C-alpha cells in the first residue's frame, strides 16, 4: 500500500478512517452532486434504470457478503428477495402499513428465512450448498404461486404508493432520492461491517475455515450470521422493488434472477463492496446498452433487421460474462484498482 | 499443578492408530518440545490439543479444567493458540487484519455496531490495533504491515503466523515446526523469538520441530513420540543419551 507523500497520520483512528484524504472526500462530494442534479436533467427512463440499479446494488451487496466474503455460495438469493417483496406488498396493500415498518419487516422476515436455510446448511459446502439454496429458491417460487389466498398467485399484487411522511413518492424521479439515500446507507453499513470484527471473521472463514476456528471464530455462529445478514439485505431490496414496480408477480423472482445476482458479484468482483455496486449497475444497464447497440447496427446494416430478435441480446450478455471470467477474474473492481494505482503513481510508473 | 496435563490420550482413524495412550505434562513457563520421526503423531497431538480432532480416549486438562471434546473456538478462548505446519494464513487479508483476527476472542462487537462503526466497534478497533502494533514491533515486521500476506515471502509469512497466534494472548502457544523450510539465519531468528516470547511475554510454549540444533538449544523438556506412543521424556541431555530415542529417531554418531 502506497501512501501519498506528505500524508501524516497521528493516531490509529486516522489510519482506519474511511475517507482519509481531502481528495477522496472531494471526489465523493462531486459524485453526490452529480447524482443530486441528475433527475432535473436526465431522461425519466435513465432515472428508472438508476432506481433499479440501486435495488440491485443492495441485493448484490447482500449476496457478496455471503458468497464473496464468507465463501458460502448461494443460488437462492432471489427467494429472499421475493420474500421481502411479498412481505412489503402484502402488508402494505392489505393493512396499509407505512413503509418505515414494511421495509424493516421485509428485511427481518427475509433474515429469519436466512436463518431457516442457514442452520441446516451449516455442514454443506460448494456444489452441495449451491444445490440446497437453489432448491430453497424453487420452493419459495412454488409457494408464491400456489399460496393463492395470501400471495394472489399468478394474478400478482398491486402495491400502494410509498408515502414518505405525507409526501407520496409516486414517480420514479421522486423515488430516486429515497433510493439513493438508502443505497448509500447500505453501502456504508456493508463497508463498515467488512472492516470490523464480524467482517474479518467472515473473510477468515472463506480463506481458511480451520485456522479461523482455531483462532476462536465459531463457524456455526458466523456462517448463520452471514446467511441472515445477506438475506436481510435481499429482503430490504425486495421491499424497495415492490414499491418501485408498483406491481409484483411470481415471474419476477425466478431462478434466473438468482443467477443474475451471482453474475453481478462475479462481474463486479467477489469479496469487494465496490465490486457489488459496479456489478449491479453493469448487469442492469448492459442489456439496455446492447439493445441500443443492436438498434444502431440495424440502422447501419438494414439487411440484418429481420434476423434480429431478443435472443441475440441474451447471447451477447452471456458472451460478455464469459469474457469477464476469462480475462478479468477480479471483475470490474480489479480494473478500477488498476486504473486508480495508475493515476496515483503518475507520472512515475513503478 | 501443571499447566497442561494429557492423560491416556488415544486417537484412532478407522483402524489406524495415530496416538496410543500418551501421557504428558507441561509445567507453566517452560518450553516443551515434542519430537519424533515422521508419522509419529506429533501433529495429531496438536490437533487434539486445539480441538481440531476429538480424541478417541483420554483427557486433556488445562489448569485442571477438562477441555477434551470442546470445539476449537472454545479452546481458543481458554488460552491455547497455535501455528500450523503448512502456513494457514488468511491470504487475502493484510498483515494487520490477520493479526487483528487473533484479537477476535478479546473483542465482542456485533454486526450492528460494526455496520455503523460507532461506540464499541470503533473503540475496539483502535484499542486492539495498539496490541497488534506491539506484536508487529516485537516480531520486526513493521515494513510489511499493510501488505497482503499472500504476497509475502515464506519466512515472513511464518513470522506473521506466529504473530497471529501471539495476538491471541494465549497461556499456551503450540508451534508446529516453526523453523521448517527456513535457512540458517531465519532459523536463528525464530529460535530467538521463541525464547523472547517465553521470557518477555511469559507464555508456555510447546513446539514440534525437526531441527535438533534448535530443539536441544532452547527447550527445557522433550517428549519423544514414535508410532503414536511416548517412548521417552526428559531434559535435552537425558534424551540425547536415551538408547530408545537414538534407535528410533536421533541416530548413532558414527
Which grid coordinates are listed for B24?
Answer: 504428558
Q: Torsions phi, psi of B139, nearest 5?
A: -95, 5
Which grid coordinates are listed for A78?
Answer: 432471489
Across the interface, whether the CB atoms of B73 and A216 are under 8 A apart is answered: yes
Across the interface, whether the CB atoms of A210 and B88 are under 8 A apart is answered: yes
pLDDT at B193: 93
pLDDT values of chain B reduced to their tens digit, one per residue, 254 residues: 688 999 999 999 888 889 999 999 999 999 999 998 888 889 999 999 999 999 999 999 999 889 998 999 999 999 999 999 888 999 889 999 999 999 999 988 888 888 887 777 888 888 899 999 999 999 999 889 888 998 999 989 999 999 999 999 999 999 999 988 888 998 999 999 999 999 999 899 999 998 888 888 899 999 999 888 888 888 988 888 888 888 887 776 65
pLDDT at B176: 92
Across the interface, whether the CB atoms of A204 and B101 are under 8 A apart is answered: yes
DSSP classification of residue A10: -
Nearest chain B CA: its distance from A133 CA (Å): 23
Residues of A in contact with B121 (CB under 8 A): 192, 196-197
Nearest chain A CA: its distance from B25 CA (Å): 22
pLDDT at A321: 80
pLDDT at B112: 86
Nearest chain B CA: its distance from A253 CA (Å): 28
Ordered by start, the domain boundaries in chain A are: 40-345
Yes or no: say if A173 and A47 are a contact pair by the CB < 8 Å rule.
yes
Query: Pick from B165, B226, B209, B198: which is nearest to B3 by CA?
Result: B198
Among chain B residues, the shortest Cα distance to A15 is held by B126
Domain at A40-345: CATH architecture: Orthogonal Bundle (1.10)
DSSP classification of residue A88: H
Query: Pick from A117, A35, A105, A108: which is nearest to A79 by CA?
Result: A117
pLDDT at B145: 86
For residue B253, give Cα distances in angstroms to B211, B219, B236.
16, 22, 16
DSSP, residue by residue, A104-173: HHHHHHHHHHHHHHHTTTTT--HHHHHHHHHHHHHHHHHHHHH-HHHH-GGG-EE-PPEEETTEEE-SHH
Which grid coordinates are listed for B163?
Answer: 504473530
Q: Which domains does chain B carry?
A: 1-79+170-254 (3.40.50.300), 90-169 (no CATH)
Question: What are A152-164's pLDDT values in tens digits?
Answer: 888 888 888 887 7
For residue A350, give Cα distances in angstroms to A263, A345, B153.
33, 7, 20
Q: What is the distance between the alpha carbons of residues B205 and B190, in angstroms, rounded to a whole number?
A: 13
Across the interface, whether the CB atoms of B97 and A211 are under 8 A apart is answered: no
Is the preceding peptide bond at B168 cis, omega within 30 degrees of 0? no
Contacts across the A-B interface (CB distance below 8 Å): 115
CB nearest to A225's CB, from B92, B97, B111 = B111
CB nearest to B93's CB, from A16, A203, A218 = A203
Q: What is the distance between the alpha carbons of residues A240 and A175, in angstroms, rounded to a whole number?
A: 10
Among chain A residues, the shortest Cα distance to B76 is held by A216
- The CB density around residue A305, as the number of other CB atoms within 10 Å, is 12
Which of these ranges, A122-131, A293-302, B130-139, has the smallest mean pLDDT?
A: A293-302
Nearest chain B CA: its distance from A150 CA (Å): 32
ipTM tops 0.95? no
Residues of B in contact with A216 (CB under 8 A): 73, 76-77, 104-105, 168
Computed on alpha carbons and rounded to an integer, the radius of gyration of chain B in Å comes to 19
A196-220 average pLDDT score: 92
Nearest chain A CA: its distance from B197 CA (Å): 18
pLDDT at B124: 87
What is the three-class DSSP state of B26? strand
pLDDT at A109: 95
For residue A83, give Cα distances in angstroms to A42, A108, A112, A151, A261.
32, 10, 10, 11, 16
Across the interface, whether the CB atoms of B90 and A212 are under 8 A apart is answered: yes
pLDDT above 70: residue A1 = no
CA angle, A220 then A223 then A229, to 5°: 130
Across the interface, whether the CB atoms of B76 and A200 are under 8 A apart is answered: no
Amino acid at each position: 500500500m502506497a501512501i501519498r507523500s506528505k500524508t501524516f497520520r497521528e493516531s490509529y483512528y486516522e489510519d482506519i478512517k474511511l475517507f482519509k484524504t481531502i481528495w477522496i472526500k472531494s471526489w465523493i462530494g462531486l459524485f453526490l452532486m452529480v447524482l443530486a442534479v441528475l433527475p432535473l436533467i436526465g431522461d425519466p427512463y435513465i432515472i428508472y434504470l438508476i432506481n433499479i440499479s440501486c435495488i440491485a446494488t443492495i441485493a448484490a451487496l447482500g449476496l457478496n457478503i455471503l458468497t464473496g466474503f464468507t465463501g458460502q455460495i448461494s443460488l437462492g438469493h432471489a427467494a429472499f428477495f421475493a420474500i421481502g417483496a411479498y412481505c412489503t406488498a402484502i402488508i402494505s396493500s392489505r393493512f396499509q402499513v407505512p413503509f418505515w415498518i414494511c421495509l424493516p419487516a421485509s428485511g427481518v422476515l427475509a433474515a429469519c428465512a436466512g436463518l431457516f436455510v442457514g442452520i441446516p446448511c451449516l455442514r454443506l459446502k460448494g456444489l452441495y450448498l449451491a444445490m440446497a439454496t437453489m432448491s430453497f429458491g424453487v420452493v419459495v417460487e412454488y409457494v408464491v404461486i400456489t399460496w393463492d389466498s395470501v400471495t394472489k398467485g399468478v394474478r400478482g399484487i398491486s402495491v400502494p404508493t410509498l408515502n414518505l411522511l405525507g409526501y407520496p413518492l409516486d414517480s420514479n424521479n421522486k423515488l430516486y432520492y429515497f433510493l439513493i439515500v438508502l443505497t448509500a446507507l447500505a453501502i456504508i453499513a456493508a463497508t463498515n461491517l467488512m472492516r470490523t470484527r464480524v467482517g474479518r471473521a467472515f473473510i477468515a472463514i472463506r480463506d481458511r475455515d480451520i485456522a479461523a476456528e482455531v483462532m476462536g471464530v465459531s463457524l456455526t455462529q458466523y456462517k448463520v450470521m452471514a446467511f441472515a445478514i445477506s438475506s436481510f439485505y435481499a429482503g430490504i431490496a425486495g421491499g424497495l422493488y415492490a414499491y418501485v414496480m408498483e406491481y409484483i408477480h411470481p415471474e419476477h423472482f425466478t431462478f434466473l434472477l438468482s443467477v443474475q445476482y451471482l453474475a453481478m458479484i462475479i462481474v463486479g468482483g467477489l469479496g469487494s463492496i465496490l465490486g457489488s455496486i459496479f456489478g449491479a449497475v453493469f448487469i442492469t444497464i448492459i442489456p439496455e446498452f446492447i439493445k441500443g447497440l443492436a438498434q444502431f447496427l440495424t440502422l447501419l446494416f438494414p439487411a440484418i433487421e429481420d434476423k434480429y430478435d431478443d435472443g441475440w441480446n441474451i447471447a451477447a450478455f452471456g458472451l460478455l460474462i464469459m469474457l469477464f471470467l476469462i480475462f478479468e477474474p477480479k471483475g470490474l473492481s480489479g480494473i478500477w484498482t488498476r486504473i486508480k494505482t495508475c493515476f496515483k503513481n503518475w507520472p512515475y510508473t513503478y | 499443578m501443571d499447566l497442561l496435563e494429557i492423560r491416556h490420550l488415544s486417537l484412532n482413524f478407522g483402524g489406524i492408530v495415530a496416538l496410543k495412550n500418551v501421557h504428558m505434562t507441561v509445567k507453566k513457563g517452560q518450553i516443551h518440545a515434542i519430537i519424533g520421526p515422521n508419522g509419529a503423531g506429533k501433529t495429531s497431538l496438536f490437533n487434539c490439543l486445539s480441538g481440531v480432532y476429538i480424541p478417541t480416549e483420554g483427557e486433556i486438562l488445562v489448569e485442571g479444567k477438562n477441555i477434551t471434546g470442546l470445539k476449537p473456538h472454545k479452546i481458543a478462548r481458554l488460552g491455547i493458540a497455535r501455528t500450523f505446519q503448512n502456513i494457514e494464513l488468511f491470504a487475502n487479508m493484510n498483515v494487520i487484519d490477520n493479526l487483528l483476527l487473533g484479537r477476535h476472542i478479546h473483542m465482542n462487537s456485533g454486526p450492528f455496531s460494526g455496520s455503523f462503526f460507532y461506540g464499541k466497534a470503533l473503540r475496539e478497533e483502535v484499542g486492539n490495533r495498539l496490541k497488534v502494533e506491539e506484536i508487529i514491533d516485537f516480531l520486526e515486521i513493521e515494513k510489511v504491515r499493510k501488505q497482503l500476506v499472500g504476497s509475502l515471502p515464506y519466512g515472513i509469512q511464518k513470522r506473521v503466523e506466529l504473530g497471529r497466534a501471539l495476538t491471541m494472548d494465549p497461556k499456551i502457544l503450540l508451534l508446529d515446526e516453526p523453523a521448517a523450510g527456513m535457512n540458517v539465519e531465519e532459523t536463528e531468528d525464530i529460535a530467538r523469538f521463541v525464547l523472547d516470547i517465553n521470557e518477555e511475554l511469559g507464555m508456555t510454549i510447546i513446539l514440534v520441530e525437526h531441527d535438533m540444533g534448535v530443539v536441544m538449544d532452547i527447550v527445557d523438556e522433550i517428549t519423544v513420540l514414535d508410532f503414536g506412543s511416548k517412548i521417552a521424556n526428559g531434559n535435552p541431555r537425558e534424551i540425547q543419551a536415551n538408547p530408545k530415542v537414538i534407535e528410533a529417531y536421533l541416530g548413532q554418531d558414527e
